[in-house]
């Protein structure tokens, strides 16, 4: 079964790259047409985007295992995307998602890892 079937509301914005076999997303394309969707469909689509991004990160586990900096950047980006998508889903449902919570508060583990990476790079600039 194609990975695209897991997300029926965003299927048209996903494709399988013939050369790599990976699922590639067109989130920008979605953002250009999301206003045409009903609020309920938009909320569902945003929930699917959040699930897709989490799934996509899980698919990259082996690739990211040996590169701490890349793994951190991809994990941080994924967390920010899923957080934004879930907030957008709540807004589309007419809910108040509350104030924006910065990554450093929401994910102190990622903030600590970022600080550790930066400290190591500053201490060893030639590595």
For residue 125, name the pLDDT band (cuts at 50, 70, 90): confident
More reliable by pLDDT, 24 or 5 = 24
The predicted model scores a pTM of 0.90
Q: How many C-beta atoms lie closer than 10 Å to residue 88's C-beta?
A: 20
**5-9, 90-94, 107-111: segment of lowest average pLDDT:** 5-9
Alpha carbon dihedral 102, 44, 40, 33, in 10-degree steps, equals 80
| CA dist., res. 88 & res. 54, Å (int) | 16
What per-residue confidence (pLDDT) applies to 1?
A: 37
């Amino acid at each position: 079964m194609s990975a695209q079937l897991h997300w029926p509301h965003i299927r048209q914005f996903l494709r399988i790259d013939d050369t790599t076999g990976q699922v590639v997303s067109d989130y920008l394309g979605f953002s250009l047409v999301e206003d045409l969707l009903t609020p309920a469909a938009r909320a569902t689509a945003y929930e699917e985007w959040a699930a897709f991004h989490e799934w996509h990160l899980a698919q990259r586990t082996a690739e990211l295992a040996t590169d701490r900096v890349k793994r951190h950047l991809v994990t941080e980006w994924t967390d920010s995307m899923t957080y934004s998508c879930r907030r957008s889903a709540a807004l589309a449902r007419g809910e108040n998602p509350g104030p924006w919570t910065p990554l450093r508060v929401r994910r102190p583990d990622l903030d600590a890892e970022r600080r550790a990476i930066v400290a190591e790079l500053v201490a060893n600039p030639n590595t």
